[in-house]
Structure formats: structure tokens, C-alpha cells
């Protein structure tokens, strides 16, 4: 087990896929917290998340099941279930059994991503991930990393100022405002200097980061690279696969570039759409490269509590107090061992 101090499945919305992976009448099998979840999209475009085991006689609907209209049909005996899990008809054209109900999971589709709500107590969603304006922004490019780790430790990076300089090599890192929390929402804002060459330019670039964290499975980082006039959205979407592993989905979107020459003089004559696409492709590559520096740390570290925090770490203590709300079956003052 990853850590005796952190229960493996805190309450949160967790990404289980991207909209472009689930077309109309499509199906996906995903694993979340040690169990399979079946995603399907109806003919009208409504997505749903259900348990894959048919309540009739236990067939796995994800293997051979098909979407017909607004329901999904079990391959074994033809039972059809709508997005609410109700059996709307069977293969015999008789009245379905009243207990033939397919378990459903709360699912939301937000800015090109699919999220399922997980609460070990079975409670309904206590909060939502708000949608955002995607006009003038590219569709997300995305990448997946399967690794040993815990979602809380991944999200903790949003408050770990020290590692930005010492691990990633950023300079002049400063907080632009105090850490803010409101229920399941956390906000942190930073400015930093990236000393690496960007788009072939020798000088570094100044970036301002505005981090919007909702629960432990969703972080949206609004990045403004000031001197290049580039705005990007970086999504960090970690979800527990089991007690020891996490699937980390990374996604990136770019706001339409208005002045390509600001990025590089040679782009002055390039179409804005082409330049925006170039920024997106280079952006996701750099984003993944940054995160891959963290992966060996997350993979091999243990959860230390209480941590011996030092001046310069950032608001990690405040972050950890905020995370306690996502363990509803645990003591609210300390994380108890599991098992």
C-alpha cells in the first residue's frame, strides 16, 4: 500500500476520460478506485456512467453491449438500461423486473472532460466543478501517466513553492496573493521566471500562474506568459486506480494567439490558427516534461505527517488542513492508518 497514513480514495470528482474518447453511441470501460465503471453516450449525446454488471444475470455490459437510442443493451439477454439505470425493456418484450436497476455514478462533462464523483460513503455530490468559457480556446490536447502514488500528494504540488525552484529550476518564484480556500475550492497564485529558451529565444520568460483546485482530482492552472502574450490552461487530473496506483491525466488548451510576432519575429506572417496550434503542441510537450520531473518523486516518496516544514516551503500546512474534508469516514483532525 502506498501509505499507511492516507486512505486511498478521498472524496472528489475524478476524470475518467475525455469527450473525444466517447463519441455518440460509444462505450468505454474505466477503472476507478479498484472497480470498473462503464461509460456510454446515447444517440442524442448524453453521457452516463454505470456499473458494468447487468442486474439481470450479471453479464458484463461493457463487453458486447451496444447503445441503442437513449439506452445501452446487455449482450446476454437484451435488457436495456437508460442513463438513470432503469431497465426500460428486455429481450422478451415483457415487463422488466422492478429490481432490474443498474447502479449509476454521478457524471459531469466539463470543457471536454468526463468526471465521475467518488464518495466511499455513497453520498451524492456535495459540490461541483464549474464550467468555463472555452471560446477562443483550442480543444484540449491530453496525455496519460500511470504511476504509483496518491492524489493528495500530486495536488500538494500546487502549494509547494520550494520544489518549483529546486526541482523544476524556475527563478524568482513569488506568491501573488495568500492561499484561498472555500469549501472544496482552493486557489493559489504565483509569478516565476522560466530561464529556459522558449520558441528559440535565448531570454527567459515571465509566467503568472492562477491555480484553481476543486477537490483532489481536478486542478486548472491558468498560465499567462507575459512577455510572449501567451495564455494557456494546464489541467492536472489525478484519479486513484487502486490503493497503490494513480492514473494522471494531463491536458492543455491554448487561447488564440493574437500577435504571433510577439512570440517570434519569424511568425509575423504565419496564420494565427497555425501559430496557436504550434503553441499547443509545444505546450503539451513542455507540460508533460515538467510533470515527468515530479513522477520519480511521487513514485518513491512516503507521506510524512506531521511534516517538518521549513521557511520557504509555501502554504503546505494550510493545504493539508484543507484536504481533511475529503476523507468523510476519517477523524477530522488526523489521518488514521488504513486497514
Name the DSSP class of 326. G
CA nearest neighbour of 248 among 294, 211, 214: 294
Q: Which run of H or E residues covers position 193?
A: strand 185-194
Q: How many CB atoms lie within 10 A of CB 153?
A: 21
Q: DSSP of 3-60, one letter per residue?
A: -TTS-S--SEEEEEEEGGGS-TT-EEEEEETTEEEEEEE-TTS-EEEE-SB-TTT--B
Asked whether the CA dihedral 331, 316, 239, 22 is positive or negative, the reply is: positive
Task: Enter the pTM of the model.
Answer: 0.92
Q: Which run of H or E residues covers position 172?
A: strand 171-182
Question: Cα(199)–Cα(283) distance, rounded to whole angstroms?
Answer: 11
Q: How many CB atoms lie within 10 A of CB 86?
A: 15
User: Which domains are delineated in the chain?
Assistant: 24-105 (2.102.10.10), 141-323 (3.90.380.10)
Question: Cα(71)–Cα(48) distance, rounded to whole angstroms?
Answer: 10
Q: Quick check: 115 and 14 in contact, CB under 8 A?
A: yes
pLDDT per position in the chain (339 positions), as tens?
554 578 989 999 999 999 999 999 999 999 999 999 999 999 999 999 999 999 999 999 999 999 999 999 999 999 999 999 999 999 999 999 999 999 999 999 999 999 999 998 899 999 999 999 999 999 999 999 999 999 999 999 999 999 999 999 899 999 999 999 999 999 999 999 987 666 666 567 899 999 999 999 999 999 999 989 999 999 999 999 999 999 999 999 999 999 999 988 888 888 999 999 999 999 999 999 999 999 999 999 999 999 999 999 999 999 999 999 999 876 533 333 222
Amino acid at each position: 500500500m502506498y501509505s499507511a497514513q492516507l486512505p486511498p480514495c478521498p472524496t472528489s470528482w475524478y476524470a475518467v476520460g475525455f469527450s473525444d474518447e466517447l463519441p455518440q453511441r460509444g462505450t468505454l470501460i474505466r477503472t476507478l478506485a479498484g472497480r470498473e465503471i462503464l461509460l456510454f453516450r446515447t444517440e442524442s449525446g448524453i453521457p452516463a456512467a454505470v456499473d458494468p454488471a447487468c442486474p439481470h444475470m450479471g453479464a458484463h455490459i461493457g463487453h458486447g453491449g451496444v447503445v441503442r437510442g437513449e439506452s445501452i443493451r446487455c449482450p446476454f439477454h437484451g435488457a436495456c438500461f437508460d442513463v438513470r439505470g432503469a431497465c426500460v425493456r428486455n429481450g422478451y418484450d415483457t415487463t422488466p423486473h422492478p429490481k432490474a436497476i443498474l447502479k449509476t455514478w454521478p457524471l459531469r462533462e466539463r470543457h471536454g472532460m468526463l468526471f465521475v464523483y467518488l464518495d466511499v460513503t455513497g453520498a451524492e455530490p456535495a459540490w461541483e466543478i464549474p464550467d468555463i468559457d472555452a471560446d477562443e480556446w483550442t480543444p484540449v490536447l491530453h496525455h496519460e501517466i500511470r504511476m504509483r502514488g496518491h492524489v493528495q500528494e500530486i495536488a500538494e504540488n500546487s502549494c509547494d513553492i520550494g520544489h518549483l525552484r529546486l526541482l523544476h529550476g524556475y527563478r524568482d518564484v513569488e506568491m501573488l496573493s495568500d492561499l484561498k480556500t472555500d469549501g472544496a475550492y482552493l486557489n493559489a497564485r504565483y509569478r516565476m521566471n522560466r530561464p529556459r529558451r522558449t520558441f528559440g529565444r535565448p531570454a527567459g520568460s515571465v509566467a503568472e500562474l492562477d491555480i484553481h483546485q476543486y477537490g483532489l482530482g481536478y486542478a486548472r492552472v491558468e498560465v499567462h506568459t507575459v512577455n510572449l502574450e501567451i495564455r494557456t490552461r494546464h489541467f492536472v487530473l489525478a484519479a486513484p486506480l487502486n490503493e497503490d496506483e494513480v492514473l494522471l491525466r494531463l491536458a492543455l488548451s491554448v487561447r488564440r494567439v493574437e500577435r504571433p510576432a510577439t512570440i517570434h519575429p519569424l511568425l509575423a506572417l504565419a496564420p494565427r490558427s497555425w501559430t496557436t496550434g504550434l503553441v499547443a503542441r509545444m505546450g503539451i510537450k513542455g507540460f508533460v516534461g515538467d510533470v515527468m520531473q515530479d513522477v520519480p518523486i511521487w513514485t518513491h516518496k512516503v507521506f510524512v505527517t506531521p511534516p517538518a516544514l521549513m521557511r520557504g516551503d509555501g502554504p503546505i500546512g494550510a493545504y493539508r488542513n484543507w484536504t481533511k474534508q475529503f476523507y468523510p469516514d476519517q477523524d477530522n483532525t488526523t489521518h488514521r492508518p488504513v486497514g
